Every structure is written in C-alpha cells, then in structure tokens.
Amino acid sequence: MHEQNPLAAFDIEISNVFDLGHGQDLLDFAPFDISVAVTEVQVGDQRLWYTKTASGSPGPNLDKSGARELLYYLHQLQSSGHRLVAWNGLSFDLRWIGHVAEDMDRARAVALDLYDPMFQFFKVAGFPVGLAKVAEGFGLSMKNLMDGADAPVRWQAGDYESVFDYVQGDVALTLLVAKKIEEHCEVRWVTQRGRTSSKRIGVMRQVKDCLRDPMPDQSWMDTPMQESNFSGWLNQ
C-alpha cells in the first residue's frame, strides 16, 4: 500500500538575486540557477547537494552533472518505494532541477509521481498556502533563520553555512508537515488575519492523480490562480 511506504523529502534554494515587486510574477526572473539542494529520507538523515570548487568550497551554482545526479537520486527514491514529497515541488523545485540538469523528461516523470501537498491543497481550495503558515497551523516549532529571499544574497556573499542551515530546516519541516497532513487528512494553516483554518484533503495523493481532479469554485476570487501556473511546464 502506498500509504505505508516511507516518506522522503527534498528542497532547493536558488542563487539568483532579484527584487520581486508587489504582485510581480516570480517567473519574470526565470530561468533560475540552484545554489544548493537537500534531501531527507528519514528524520535527521539529510544530504546536501552542491557543486564544489577545486579548493573544496561551494561553487556559485549546482552544475549540470550535479543536478543530473540529484534528479536520478530522486527518481531512484521513488523507484525504491519512497513517497517523495516537496512543498510546491511541482511548480518550482523539479522544474528548475530539470532545467539545470537539461533533462526535462526525467523531471516530468519525477513530478508526476511526486506528492506535493501544496498542489493537492490548491486543487481542493483554489489557492496556495505557504509551508511556514501550515507548520504554524499544526503547531510545529521552527527556527526562523532568515527570509527565503535572503538565501541567494547570503549565498553570493559566501555565507554558505547559514544557507545550508536554512534549507535543511525547510526540508525537515516539509517532512514533519507531510506527516501531520497524513495523520489528520487535512491542511491546517494560519491565515493573514492570524486565525487557524483547516481544509480536509483526504489522503496524500500523487501529482498525476491530483491533475485529474476538477478545479474547485474560484468565482469568489478577483484574480484566481490557474492550474497551469503549477503544471504548465509539464507540457512544454
């Protein structure tokens, strides 16, 4: 049974520095380079992925061979029976790993078998929600090491350890949140007004299954987000 298979999680950080204006689309600044990625196959068992220079220090970006190795590893985790989880991994992480690896076919294959609770939530609620707000909704404690937008700045400044700590914290949080969602069959999150809300999503399901679900009613939204914002790259 899929629900009995072990969970594994991953996350990436990009190295590109830019100023995202209010209401501006992140993709305006694409394509993205990856500074570091992290995988976690069980609580505390993490592996960092980055390219080293000749001196052994981290290089500016994960190179093509490193991205290919990471992508193959993620595929192997799935093939070995792990349920691979990433928060917004469909829309973001796998798209840019595939881009850097120059292997979009494998990235698509991994994406379709991915468990992305944020995308599953979007297909139920009609809007996305951030990992930090969901962790807060479940009462999970987390270290606020930095704002995500600061990670590329710190990386380019050579402050690699703080970025390592940040991405490792994020992937650990992803795994903990996934387990909470699995336990309760719902997503809990703290709204902009500071209230805790919840939405039942049932068991966690793979992206390929969520893609078959109809979109929920978004008629109450002024500017509803389209499913293609998440999955459009799969068809490119």
- The dihedral over CA atoms of 147, 153, 154, 160, expressed in degrees to the nearest 10, equals 110
Q: Where are the domains of the chain?
A: 2-18+28-210
- Per residue in 158-171, pLDDT tens? 999 999 999 999 99
Q: Is 157 helix (H, G, I), strand (E, B) or coil?
A: coil
Prediction pTM value? 0.94
- Per residue in 132-154, pLDDT tens? 999 999 999 776 657 778 899 99
**Domain spanning 2-18+28-210 has what CATH number?**
3.30.420.10
Burial of residue 183 (number of CB atoms within 10 Å: 0-12, 13-18, 19+): exposed
